Structure 1
Amino acid sequence: MNVCKIAAVLLSGVLLAGALPLPVMAQQPTAVYYTSISPAVNGGEPIRGVDISSILSVEKAGVVFRDESGAPADIFQILADHGVNYIRVRVWNQPNDGKGHSYGGGNSDVKAAAEIGRRAAQYGMKLLVDFHYSDFWADPEKQRPPKAWEGKSVAEKGTAIYQFTLESLRTIREAGADIGMVQVGNETNCHFCGEDDMYKICDMFKAGCNAVRDFDSSVLRVLHFANPSTGYYDWYAKVLAECNVDYDVFATSYYPYWHGTSEDMTSVMRKIATTYNKYVMVVETAYPYTNEDGDTFGNVVSKDSSGVTFRYDISPEGQTACLTDVFQAVANVGEKGIGVFYWEPAWLGKQGLSWEEQRKHWEEDGSGWATAYAKEYDSSVNDTGGSSYDNQAQFSFDGKPLASLDVYKNVYPQAYRFRQEDTAALSDGYYLIRNVGSGLYLNSDGSGNAVQSAQEVQWHLQAVDGGYTITSAEGQFLTAGEGSSTQSAVHLSSRTGKDDQVYTIVQSGDSLMLLTQTTGQAQCVDVFDRSTYEGAWMTYSKALQTD
């Protein structure tokens, strides 16, 4: 991690006002390193993701999450502080009966996804939008099309998929989400949106992928299958190639108690990556830490379950070891292995309630896996139900982080992520900006030529929404951050063609970090992007002259 600490020095002294401390990354012996991940993917960082699609309904039901000290805290902050950099959220088309009655399962419509994406972006976490193209759960056992699409031809469903995808993504982005990936279908093992012919399915995949491309060509397009031990993955990838489906990521669900060994999973995914030149990742995984139940509704797996193989202890330590191994298994794929998402680590029920009291929350808040109203759409629903994954959560039943949540801190490389409340309060005024590592001051000569000895230039900091603009007091040069930098720190450059960069000032120890806010996150400013040591060289800068 290349951290560039910068001291902001007022002419009368050092100003360290109103800042919050940065999270500290603990070193653990179970660290996982992605040594060759492409800079084109998440800035060169592995995806350390979680799917918390149920979170709004869980919060509505009264579940409280707590930080390491036991104090109530925003779960998005807790996740970000533990190294999570991506949130996954499912989207159902119309998860209700049309009369105001939700099907449950988190009430996972576009509106909910937009709110989850907005909150994730506040803490620097990107969003993977997981379209099921169904009104309720889509998985290998069921892929029913939305009620409004039933009876449509494959071509008509393709058109509907395109329109729904594009419109939904625009809505989610407008809410403030930082969309980095979009999943076209969920666990589509030769079944998708009511079809079971893989070649017809590919036509619908194309429609969804085209919508993502037209929305934003930089967003990665993901296709998702379940269980790499089936032996079908190579055939799926082969048909996708034959049909010229334009996608970026071949993703898998991998639940170790159902889906074989991590070594076999690595082998299967590596073959996909090398044969078809696709990124690969685990987009769903989980493991139990206890056999107990926390919400009066049974667990999908426990020590007495049949048809499962537990390769780790059912304990917090076993859960931690399992998740670490899953991250390592994807890293072992090589440069095309890009990361892991844990499925529903916060799907809890409020504690101290009877079954009847829990059922009321499931029914009214949608915080369980289904409500009775879902029976009209999903024949597998018998009655209202709760969470069957709370014993696989990464929080205890009373909302405290478990040891496995620290795994994300120990998957490298990592870059600091912008969080809104980190911004220190600085008064408008003129400052000297000095690099703590080199002792040199930020300088701007306007020409872009190397400056052999840095000059002490005053910079005018002016507060704007979400941060500060920084203008040179000598020559009126306004800084611009080059957003295309592949380094862990962004250098100042005029090549963006923009003069509207906004910066945040964050306290770190006795100094301040200068971060540039670009696309919903921020990175540490570095004036010379080929710096090889912490405390980047401040002997080169280029800026845009203001009108």
Structure 2
Amino acid sequence: MKRRTALTAAGAIGAAAAVTGAAATPAQAQTAFARGADISSLAKSEDYGGVYMWTDGWREDAIWILSKSGVNWVRLKVWVDPADGYNTKTQVVELAARAKAAGMNVLVDFHYSDFWTDPGKQAKPAAWTGLGFSALRDAVYDHTADVLGGLKAAGVTPAMVQVGNELNGGMLWPDGRYDRLDQLAQLLISGADAVYDNASSTKVMLHLAEGGNNSLFRWFFDAMKGRGVPFDAIGASYYPYWHGSLSGLQSNLNDMASRYGKPVYVVETAYPFNPGDRDGYANLVSASTPVSGYPSSYTGQSNMLTAIANVVKNVPNGRGGGVFWWEATWTAVDGNGWDPTDPNSGNAWENQALFDFAWKVTPALKTLGTL
């Protein structure tokens, strides 16, 4: 096992605009402002019958609809051994190859779990639960390297990798929990080393939720920088109905970019186009106006996206890297619910996708593609 910096970690620790598919061309892969979409659910949606259409009812591959609309990045999460067999290396490689063929860059989001990770849960993969800390650190490296090796073999080296997802509470609990910062740093160093060793041109992002919470971001990034964790970009989740005001987001992103000299991204955001649901499973956000001035409507969805993008673009010195819409293609498809352990689970998010209840693009997709 090769490792770039982990051997010195102990010392560091101490210290389209088009509206139909007819005449559009794909977005060109680029490192300019990221107009991104998380499409992690797409492979399962397609396998269970999901379809995607332009406003005139013309069906097309969802990835090409995104690209022709101007989306230039996709984000793909990867789990270790999920119960349903989706969001593994297999699907990540396949979706990444399709995205590259459509001219888009790829961001891979490592959860280091068999299940969702976020500030409230960071469960180890079942296969790692009995490992001691040194072996756990090696497992992070080996899993990261394995996925990157599959991508590289397919000719799809990602432009960026997230080492961990919404790390507010740490990762791989209890070993890398927020109250074990030295061990958390070692795990993150191991993941970053795997990226740099196996994909030297790929950037490493560290990602937190609560994009308007400056004290949280300062605490985390000061702690990780002080423990020698390398990173090239800062990612924030910002859901406006949960994470505070746009002005708070602006202040935090400005401070992060200045304090650490890194580009900042809103790497997860979303907003409803409709307060209802299509599959009979209650949605997480169902208010008619979740944020004052922005109704749950096509217009409200587009306007909120524009407002968030303007925050990122206004980060000084060109350090506002881009915006990613979370789960743009997660429509209400039977069998493609939120819980990989329960085939009958529903989708609590379909009213925030960029495809509506009739499977057609919402106006916010054009907004995203023309930011």
TM-score class, shorter = 0.7 to 0.9
Structure in which a larger fraction of residues adopt helix: 2
Residue 208 of structure 2 is aligned to residue 225 of structure 1 = yes
Structure 1 residues 60 and 294, CA, compared in 2 at 3 Å: closer, same or farther? same
Deviations 1:188-235 (A, max 9, x none): 113201131222111100000111011122111011100033431111
Instruction: Indicate the SS of the match to 1:368.
Output: coil
Alignment of 1:42-121 (within 5 A): 43-96=30-83, 102=84, 107-121=86-100
Number of the residue aligned with 1:318: 300
Counterpart amino acid of residue 230 in structure 2:
D
In 2, the alpha carbon distance for the partners of 1:131 and 1:44 equals 21
Deviations 1:84-132 (A, max 9, x none): 0111000000002xxxxx27xxx11110111110111110011111000
Residue 187 of structure 2 is aligned to residue 208 of structure 1 = no
Deviations 1:221-257 (A, max 9, x none): 0111000334311111111110111110110100000
Q: Is the 8 A contact 1:133 1:145 kept in 2?
A: yes
In 2, the alpha carbon distance for the partners of 1:88 and 1:149 equals 25
Measured after TM superposition, the shift of residue 23 of structure 1 is 3.8
Q: Is the 8 A contact 2:148 2:199 kept in 1?
A: no
Number of the residue aligned with 2:366: 406
Instruction: Indicate the SS of the match to 1:272.
Output: helix
Structure 1 residues 190 and 311, CA, compared in 2 at 3 Å: closer, same or farther? farther
Instruction: Indicate the SS of the match to 2:208.
Output: strand
In 2, the alpha carbon distance for the partners of 1:175 and 1:386 equals 33
Measured after TM superposition, the shift of residue 22 of structure 1 is 4.6
Alignment of 1:267-416 (within 5 A): 267-303=251-287, 309-334=291-316, 335-350=318-333, 358=334, 362=335, 367-371=336-340, 373=341, 384-411=344-371
Q: Is the 8 A contact 1:48 1:340 kept in 2?
A: yes
Instruction: Indicate the SS of the match to 1:283.
Output: strand
In 2, the alpha carbon distance for the partners of 1:294 and 1:175 equals 37
Structure 1 residues 199 and 163, CA, compared in 2 at 3 Å: closer, same or farther? same
Equivalent pairs, count? 343
Measured after TM superposition, the shift of residue 173 of structure 1 is 2.7
Counterpart amino acid of residue 370 in structure 1:
D
TM-score by length of 1: 0.60
- RMSD of aligned alpha carbons: 2.0
Q: Is the 8 A contact 1:227 1:253 kept in 2?
A: yes
In 2, the alpha carbon distance for the partners of 1:24 and 1:169 equals 25
Structure 1 residues 295 and 266, CA, compared in 2 at 3 Å: closer, same or farther? same
Q: Is the 8 A contact 1:256 1:311 kept in 2?
A: no
Measured after TM superposition, the shift of residue 263 of structure 1 is 1.8
Structure 1 residues 293 and 125, CA, compared in 2 at 3 Å: closer, same or farther? same
In 2, the alpha carbon distance for the partners of 1:258 and 1:60 equals 32
In 2, the alpha carbon distance for the partners of 1:190 and 1:298 equals 27
In 2, the alpha carbon distance for the partners of 1:301 and 1:139 equals 18
Counterpart amino acid of residue 69 in structure 1:
D
Counterpart amino acid of residue 302 in structure 1:
S
Number of the residue aligned with 2:121: 142
Structure of higher CA gyration radius: 1
Counterpart amino acid of residue 368 in structure 1:
G
Q: Is the 8 A contact 1:118 1:176 kept in 2?
A: yes
Measured after TM superposition, the shift of residue 172 of structure 1 is 2.0
Q: Unmatched 5+ residue regions in structure 2?
A: 1-21
In 2, the alpha carbon distance for the partners of 1:254 and 1:310 equals 16
Number of the residue aligned with 2:18: none
Measured after TM superposition, the shift of residue 387 of structure 1 is 1.1
Instruction: Indicate the SS of the match to 2:169.
Output: coil
Counterpart amino acid of residue 262 in structure 2:
K
Q: Aligned residues: percent identity?
A: 35
TM-score by length of 2: 0.88
Structure in which a larger fraction of residues adopt strand: 1
Q: Is the 8 A contact 1:284 1:342 kept in 2?
A: yes
Moved >3 Å (runs of 4+):
20-25, 308-311
Structure 1 residues 141 and 122, CA, compared in 2 at 3 Å: closer, same or farther? same
Q: Is the 8 A contact 2:272 2:351 kept in 1?
A: yes
In 1, the alpha carbon distance for the partners of 2:246 and 2:288 equals 23
Number of the residue aligned with 2:10: none
Measured after TM superposition, the shift of residue 44 of structure 1 is 4.9
